[in-house]
């Protein structure tokens, strides 16, 4: 059995998770990464996606996060999410609204950099929707 470490998932509204876990899969901005105990210190932004938390007891939990960043230390991992919900509580309408917002942002973007950014965000959201809908 792998060593456990402390994982915290925090959204501006509240602290969602704070427990000992075995591993966490984080949707990093430059690809997914699995964090385990004694991970080298990394700071990364995250894209909209699913965080999979494997608790020390072996129980798996999944959370949907919409952007944010992760602060990884050998002793623990803190995920600051812009907004986060448990996968079971995800609201389709809410997701649809976010996608709509992202589309508007992409349409309103003034310069190329902003537009490509907005489009990237939109693509991430749609992928996320695709991954969640059949669930």
Partner 1 sequence: MASLKDLRNRIASVKATQKITKAMQMVAAAKLRRAQEAAEAARPYSERMGAVLANITQAIGGGGDAPALMTGTGRDDVHLLIVCTAERGLCGGFNSQIARLARDHIRRLLADGKQVKIICVGKKGYDILRRDYGSLILERVDLREVKTLGFVNADAIARKVIHLFNEGGFDICTLFYSQFKSVISQIPTAQQIIPAAQASATADAGSGGAVYEYEPEPGEILSDLIPRNIAVQIFRALLENAAGEMGAKMSAMDNATRNAGDMINRLSITYNRQRQAQITKELIEIISGAEAL
Count CB neighbours of 70 within 10 A: 25
Please give the backbone phi and psi of residue 56, each rounded to the nearest 5 degrees, phi first: -60, -30
Give CA–CA dist 3/129, Å, rounded: 33
Residue 1 or 30 having the CB closest to partner 1: 30
Pick out residues in 95-114 that bind partner 1 (CB under 8 A). Answer: none
Residue 62 or 117 having the CB closest to partner 1: 117
CA 135 to centroid of chain Cα atoms: 17
With CB under 8 A as the contact rule, the residue among 25, 42, 109, 123 that binds partner 1 is 42
Q: Rounded to the nearest whole angstrom, what is the least distance from the CB of residue 1 to partner 1 in the complex?
A: 26
Pairing of strands 5-10, 76-81: parallel
Spatial neighbors of 126 by CB under 8 A, at least 6 apart, are: 99
27 binds partner 1 (CB under 8 A): no
13 binds partner 1 (CB under 8 A): yes
Q: Where on the chain is the footprint of partner 1 (CB under 8 A)?
A: 8, 10-15, 28-30, 40-45, 69, 71, 73-74, 78, 80, 82-83
């Amino acid at each position: 059995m792998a060593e456990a470490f402390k994982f915290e998932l925090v959204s501006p509204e509240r602290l969602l998770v704070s427990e000992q876990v075995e591993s966490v899969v984080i949707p990093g901005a430059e690809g997914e990464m699995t964090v385990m105990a004694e991970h080298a210190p990394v700071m990364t932004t995250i894209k909209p996606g699913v965080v999979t938390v494997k608790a020390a007891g072996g129980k798996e939990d999944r959370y949907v996060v919409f952007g944010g960043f992760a602060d990884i230390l050998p002793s623990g991992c803190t995920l600051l999410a812009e907004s986060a919900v448990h996968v079971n509580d995800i609201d389709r309408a809410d997701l649809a609204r976010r996608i709509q917002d992202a589309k508007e942002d992409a349409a309103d973007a003034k310069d190329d950099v902003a537009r490509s950014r907005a489009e990237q965000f939109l693509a991430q959201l749609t992928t996320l929707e695709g991954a969640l809908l059949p669930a």
